[in-house]
Amino acid sequence: MLSVSHLNVFHGNLQVVWDLSFHVNKGELVTMIGPNGAGKTTTVETIAGLNKRATGSVVFDGQEVLGRPPYELFTRGLALVPEKREIFPSMPVIENLLLGGTQNPHREGALDRVFRLFPVLRERERQEAGTLSGGEQQMLAIGRALMSEPRLLILDEPSTGLSPLLTGQVFRALEHLGREGMTVLLLEQNVRNALAMCERGYVLENGRIVEEGKSKMLLNDPRIQKAYLGI
């Protein structure tokens, strides 16, 4: 579904992602974990067409897409839930959701599925999005991405700022999507939950992948236990 090879990304003249190679197969839940500043956001923004200063290869659904504009990636079926959520605060919940589905002829069905996944959004349909709690706003951001019925859903640290309870709710929703066959790339610093949920993971440090493998293996890795799990 997604295959990234030898990706290098720059902010100005500063290189922040180095020779990155990883892949996500259709129907897989894959996580990329790593500390602040590791280059997670830079990597997925590049994949989504938001950063042009990059070399290497990004193949999505069999086609080279590196350097293609964000709109094209979106219409091809790649949806990114950004780190800052970027909902429209003064618009009602329902309008935010419908904006995510403007290109989707099946948006009624998509809306129904979003409401079943996050019932609180249905309850708050008419409420201004900016007045939702942090967790509800994250659900809205995910819901908006799902309105396009993406083939690949990329989430940039959805648990940031959420209580453990709400984090659990968001992760359970992602697990549910995974069981329904959605392909997910999850960026997280919440390493324990991310590895518990995903089959495979990559560890990104200083713009490089330093470890990769089955989540079970990563959870038992002494270096990861020490650096990320406080063991």
Residues that bind ligand ATP (CB under 6 A): 11, 16, 34, 36-42, 83, 189
Q: Does 148 bind Mg ion (CB under 5 A)?
A: no
Please enumerate in sequence order all residues whose Cβ is within 8 A of that of 161, keeping only pairs 6 or more positions apart, or say none: 134
Alpha carbons 135 and 139: distance in angstroms, whole number: 6
Distance, CA of 40 to CA of 207 (rounded, Å): 8
* Comparison of 38 and 166: residue with beta carbon closer to Mg ion: 38
Minimum Å gap between C-beta 44 and ligand ATP is 8
Residue with smaller CB distance to Mg ion, 87 or 93:
87
Shortest separation between residue 60's beta carbon and ligand ATP, angstroms: 20
Of the pair 137, 190, the CB lying nearest ligand ATP is at: 190
Choose one: 17-25, 38-46, 71-79, 219-227; the region binding Mg ion (CB under 5 A): 38-46
Contact criterion met (CB below 8 Å) for 155 and 183: no
User: By CB under 5 A, what part of segment 171-200 binds Mg ion?
Assistant: none
Among 16, 29, 41, 58, binds Mg ion (CB under 5 A): 41
Gap between the Cα atoms of 200 and 209, Å rounded:
13
Residue nearest to Mg ion (CB): 41
Min dist CB 205 to ligand ATP, Å, is 9
* d(C-alpha 94, C-alpha 91), whole Å: 8
Measured CA to CA, the distance from residue 26 to residue 28 in angstroms comes to: 6
User: Among all chains, which residue has been given the structure tokens 């939702």?
Assistant: 132
- Tell me, by CB under 5 A, how many residues bind Mg ion: 3
Where does this chain touch Mg ion (CB under 5 A) — which range of 2-10, 22-30, 39-47, 198-206?
39-47
In angstroms, what CA-CA distances link 205 with 23, 82, 184, 185, 220?
Answer: 17, 20, 21, 17, 19
What residues make contact with Mg ion under the rule CB under 5 A? 40-41, 83
